[in-house]
Amino acid sequence: MKIAVVGTGYVGLVTGTCFAETGNDVTCVDIDKKKVEKLSSGQITIYEPGLEKLFLRNVKEERLRFTTSLYEGVKDAEIVFLALPTPPGEDGSADLKYILGVAKDLGELMTDYKVIVDKSTVPVGTAEKVYTAIAKTYVGDFDVVSNPEFLREGVAVDDFMKPDRVVIGASSERARKVMGELYAPFVRSGNPVIYMDVRSAELTKYAANSFLATKISFMNEVAQLCERLGADVDMVRRGIGSDERIGKRFLFPGIGYGGSCFPKDVQALVKSSNEAGYDFQILNAVMDVNEKQKLHLLPKIKRYFKDNLKGKRFALWGLAFKPNTDDIREAPALYIIDELVKEGALVCAYDPEAMNNVRALVGNKIEYAESQYDCLYGADALIIATEWNEFRTPNFLKIVTALKNKVIFDGRNLFEADAIKELGFYYESVGRAVADPADKHK
């Protein structure tokens, strides 16, 4: 099939590459000239495990092309995916200017039947708006379909190639058939394509993200309670997660959810809800809990250093909002950096992939280290903000040698609390035994 993907960011690039990998002829369109030049010359623009190999193969075999021209991209395409940004507007609702801008341009370019697919996360009613924007100038037959994307960064290729489900919201049989053919290779393993009406598909995406965010905020509140009641959140997590009705996944407490999706999508659903005259109370609490959780480690740090962080030096492991990505959008580490710097502390950070992105954002506000151990030298404490695998089993001897004090504030519960205390560390984590600064650690 001939496919156009408009918007070649995270979702666009994964979508385009995976559809090319299953034998389709894909043209990706982006307004960012530099990005298109880079991709056309075989240079990948995001860090995503497993993607580069597929990308290079499909570029080489000419199933995957890039252009800045919307006309070039869509002229022969049967299906046009819109993988454009839907950032929060000033009031928190999803800003549809990119989607509706491209829809208007499509109306001016289209000359034959196409299926236009909203791949971006968009509020209920957007497909109707896209339809109206195209129909203003194009009078022929076409369909607008909602096909929300559920991939996670860091495991995006697997999520796309072996989806738990594919949701297709379509109002015409013709569009359902086209989409069904396109997705046939991905659902062979028995994972279903769920066909539904367009509005339900649009809401499914927000409901999925909001439910997952709710699980996380719930566990972060359980963690708060654990610290106050002397319980261990890891035990409670295991205890409840083994109940199939609850499920083991997305129960990990930490320093809040971040990334380009949960924060903006929960907020957008609350906004849509308000506009529909309904107060979505749970989600307001989910957002409040998350705001507080991002700075969960700060009072612990201040307590240890007797409220004086001026001139203190902190090593920070992890900047990306989660492991296996270089994405720093809404990364909890950035909030911690802000607070520490505001208090007059110095921060030296290390992240395996995200340092360039942070450097571009905050420049010399912090120092950057060449390795996870380099950033420890002379630091008063180590703070862990992202659970990269290489941080899980570090060389403790190197940590002890480099750190000024044997003090760790762990926002991701990477270590067994008892084992690390045995090594003589003052150790604070999330939802587990609270350390006492008065205790003498070795």
Ligand X SMILES: O=c1ccn([C@@H]2O[C@H](COP(=O)(O)OP(=O)(O)O[C@H]3O[C@H](CO)[C@@H](O)[C@H](O)[C@H]3O)[C@@H](O)[C@H]2O)c(=O)[nH]1
Which residues are known binding-site members for substrate? 150-153, 205, 250-254, 258, 322
Binding partner at 423 among ligand X, ligand NAD, none, C-beta below 5 to 8 Å by kind = none
Residues 124-153 touching ligand NAD, rule: CB under 6 A, are 149, 151, 153
Size of the site for ligand NAD (CB under 6 A): 26
CB closer to ligand NAD out of 19 and 427: 19
List, in sequence order, every residue forming a beta bridge with 427; answer none if it has no partner: 408
Site mask for ligand NAD (CB under 6 A), range 244-273, x = bound:
----------------xx------------
3-state secondary structure of 99: helix
3-state secondary structure of 236: helix
Closest approach of ligand X to the CB of residue 392, in Å: 15
Contact 349, 355 (CB under 8 A): yes
| Interface with ligand NAD (CB under 6 A), residue from 30, 143, 380, 428 | 30
Closest approach of ligand NAD to the CB of residue 319, in Å: 17
> Token digits for 109?
């370019």
Closest approach of ligand NAD to the CB of residue 57, in Å: 21
* Strand pairing class (166-169; 313-317): unpaired
Smallest CA-to-CA distance from 13 within 160, 143, 186, 130 is with: 160
Binding partner at 12 among ligand NAD, ligand X, none, C-beta below 5 to 8 Å by kind = ligand NAD
Q: Is 26 in the site for ligand NAD (CB under 6 A)?
A: no
Rounded distance, CA 52 to CA 174, Å? Answer: 34
CB closer to ligand NAD out of 130 and 261: 261
Closest approach of ligand X to the CB of residue 152, in Å: 4
Element containing residue 141 per DSSP (H, E): none
- Residue 261 annotated among the catalytic residues of the structure: yes
Binding partner at 420 among ligand NAD, ligand X, none, C-beta below 5 to 8 Å by kind = none
Segments of 68-174 assigned E as strands? 79-82, 115-118, 143-146, 166-169
Rounded distance, CA 192 to CA 187, Å? Answer: 6
Closest approach of ligand X to the CB of residue 239, in Å: 16
- For 156, phi then psi, to 5°, come to -65, -40
Q: Is 25 in the site for ligand NAD (CB under 6 A)?
A: no
Q: Is 101 in the site for ligand NAD (CB under 6 A)?
A: yes
Which residues are CB-neighbours of 430 under 8 A, at least 6 positions away?
A: 220, 223, 233, 253, 254, 255, 296, 410, 411, 412, 413
Q: What is the total residue count of the chain? A: 442
**CA–CA–CA angle 156, 162, 167 (5° rounding):** 90
Catalytic-role residue among 18, 28, 226, 261: 261
Rounded distance, CA 34 to CA 38, Å? Answer: 6
First vs last C-alpha separation in the chain:
66
CB closer to ligand X out of 7 and 254: 254
Distances in Å between the alpha carbon of 219 and those of 148, 210, 222, 249, 272? 27, 14, 5, 11, 26
Residues near ligand X (CB under 6 A): 121, 149-153, 209, 212, 216, 250-252, 254, 257-259, 261-262, 321-322
- List % helix, strand, coil for the chain (3-state, nearest 5): 45, 15, 40
Closest approach of ligand X to the CB of residue 149, in Å: 6
Binding partner at 427 among ligand X, ligand NAD, none, C-beta below 5 to 8 Å by kind = none
State which residue has the least CB distance to ligand X.
261
| Interface with ligand NAD (CB under 6 A), residue from 5, 6, 213, 349 | 6
Please enumerate, by residue number, every residue annotated as part of a binding site for NAD(+): 30, 35, 86, 121, 153, 264, 329
Q: Is 32 in the site for ligand NAD (CB under 6 A)?
A: yes
> Token digits for 156?
């995006």
Contact 373, 398 (CB under 8 A): yes
* Residues that bind ligand NAD in the complex, under the rule CB under 6 A: 6-12, 29-32, 35, 83-86, 98, 101-102, 120-121, 149, 151, 153, 260-261
Residue positions annotated with a catalytic role: 261
